[in-house]
Amino acid sequence: MDGATGQAGAVSGINKVKSPIELAYTIMNHSPHVMLSGKGAEQFAELHGLASVAPEYFITQSKLNQINKVLSQKDSMSLSFYDPNIKASKMGTVGAVALDQSGNLAAGTSTGGMTNKKHGRIGDSPIIGAGTYADNASCAVSATGHGEFFIRNVVAYDIAAQMKYKNLALKEAAQASIDRLSKLDGLGGVIALDRNGNIAMPFNTNGMFRAYAKANGEIVIELFD
């Protein structure tokens, strides 16, 4: 999502496009739509010359191990996005928020989704306002976590709305949204950035791989609380 224009692009339910985030960006810039899904999205990608791969390209041993572990548990209905052995989940959702020197914000989120989800399930990542949001007037947000909670609580927009309508600072707004999730037992976190370069990265799990880089060269990488 582009915080300067309010334009957004999203894609869901695909397994042949090499770079789904590039497809989302192409949908934003070259279609009148916000979200395309499934076959139509893949046709659109082909039309615009985006690289395609066999679905197997996305299968990794660590993800296979993760799903086999979940399936071997008694309750195979359980969904997981977070592995206590955080090394096993480092290939999960990737989110980015950015601010340019003109004060423009942008947010992007890409994911394979939760482990052991139903075929056809769409998470929060491509849903504007839930897992991804950007508006120059407030902030840019990218989320990770149990998507259903982020959708039901419109978390990314919730943070922006509190800044816009309640005049909260980014840190307070982001923390308040995560606190609301905690009360509902919804797990996850966000990375968020406002137009003054303030950064907030609250989460209610044991860890969330996160990092930031500032214009002055400062780079910070954090894994756990």
Which are the catalytic amino acids? 93
Q: Which stretch binds ligand ASP (CB under 6 A): 16-24, 56-64, 106-114, 132-140?
A: 106-114
Name the DSSP class of 128.
B
Q: Residue with the closest Cβ to ligand ASP?
A: 147
In the complex, the smallest distance separating the C-beta of residue 191 from ligand ASP, rounded to whole angstroms, is 12
- The one-letter code for the residue type at 68 is N
Residue type, 85: N
The piece of 7-15, 31-39, 107-115, 204-212 that touches ligand ASP (CB under 6 A) is: 107-115
Lay out the site mask for ligand ASP across 141-180 (x = CB under 6 A, - = otherwise): ---xx-x---------------------------------
How far apart are the C-alpha atoms of 179 and 193, rounded to whole Å? 18
**Cβ at position 148, least distance to ligand ASP in Å:** 7
By CB under 6 A, the residues from 9 to 68 that bind ligand ASP are none
The 8-class DSSP code of residue 105 comes to E
Max Cα-Cα span within the chain: 53
Give yes or no for residue 114 binding ligand ASP (CB under 6 A): yes
What distance in Å separates the CA atoms of residue 174 and residue 140, rounded to the nearest whole number? 11
For ligand ASP, the closer of residues 82 and 195 by Cβ is: 82
- The piece of 25-33, 108-116, 191-199, 215-223 that touches ligand ASP (CB under 6 A) is 108-116
Is residue 8 at the binding interface for ligand ASP, with CB under 6 A as the rule?
Answer: no
Q: How many residues bind ligand ASP (CB under 6 A)?
A: 13
According to the binding rule CB under 6 A, does residue 108 interact with ligand ASP? Answer: no
Burial of 217 (0-12, 13-18, 19+ CB in 10 A): exposed
Rg (CA), the chain: 17
Q: Read off the amino acid at residue 187.
A: L
Alpha helix (H) residue ranges in the chain: 20-30, 38-47, 61-72, 147-152, 155-166, 170-183
Which residues neighbour 185 within 8 Å (Cβ) at sequence distance 6 or greater?
A: none
Q: Which of 113, 116, 185 is nearest to 144 (CA)?
A: 113
Residue 81 touching ligand ASP (CB under 6 A): yes
124 touching ligand ASP, by CB under 6 A? yes
Contact region with ligand ASP (CB under 6 A), list: 16-24, 30-38, 45-53, 140-148: 140-148
Contacting residues toward ligand ASP, per CB under 6 A: 81, 92-93, 111, 113-114, 123-125, 131, 144-145, 147
